[in-house]
Amino acid sequence: MTQATPSAEATVQTVDQSISQGTSQGTAQAVNPEAKGILMSETALAHVKALREKQGSDLCLRVGVRQGGCSGMSYMMDFEDASNIGEHDEVYDYDGFQVVCDRKSLLYLYGLMLDYSDALIGGGFQFTNPNANQTCGCGKSFGT
């Protein structure tokens, strides 16, 4: 893993502060947010682990971005075999569950908070990205 730049560390501190301040207001709380470029709420982690159990036990979650979507870039997430983790990937461990992100995507995602809601309307995975200057109504794409 590479060392974060000072501006990235400041972003994480800001996100950590907003998470800790926001818990009394009902916002998601990150699971062990120290030194993680991609943060996950307890709800998102539990849901991802349950989905992984249906797929196979030695899978990690790859998070990234790609061109497209109504705001210019869209989020992508998928399970993949842990043997596909490359030297240019950042790996974040959540109690034995690995979240993987390539370094290019991490430039756009550093400090991302991944949450999950099971609400009937507006449910699913939710991305709170401190690097996004604009987001679309569906919450699945963003622009910088």
> How distant, in Å, are the alpha carbons of 17, 30, 76, 127 from that of 115?
17, 9, 14, 7
Instruction: Name 15's Cβ contacts closer than 8 Å, sequence gap at least 6.
Output: 33, 39, 111, 113, 130
Domains of the chain plus CATH, in order, are 6-143 (2.60.300.12)
Q: Which of the pair, 45 or 11, is modelled with greater confidence?
A: 45
Tell me the β-bridge partners of 98.
93
User: Alpha-carbon distance 110 to 99, whole Å?
Assistant: 13
Residue 28: which pLDDT band, with cuts at 50, 70 and 90? low
How distant is the alpha carbon of residue 91 from its chain centre? 12
- pLDDT for residue 111: 93
- Decide: 59 and 78 in contact? Cβ < 8 Å: no
Reported as a pLDDT band with limits 50, 70 and 90, residue 57 is: confident
Mean pLDDT of 105-131: 90
Backbone conformation region of residue 69, classed left if phi is above 0, alpha if psi is from -120 to 50, else beta:
left
In this prediction, residue 6 has a pLDDT band, given cuts at 50, 70 and 90, of very low
Mean pLDDT (whole number) for 5-19: 36
> Tens digit of pLDDT for each residue in 85-114?
999 999 999 988 999 999 999 999 999 999
pLDDT band per the 50, 70, 90 thresholds, residue 58: confident
Tokens of 125: 């995975």
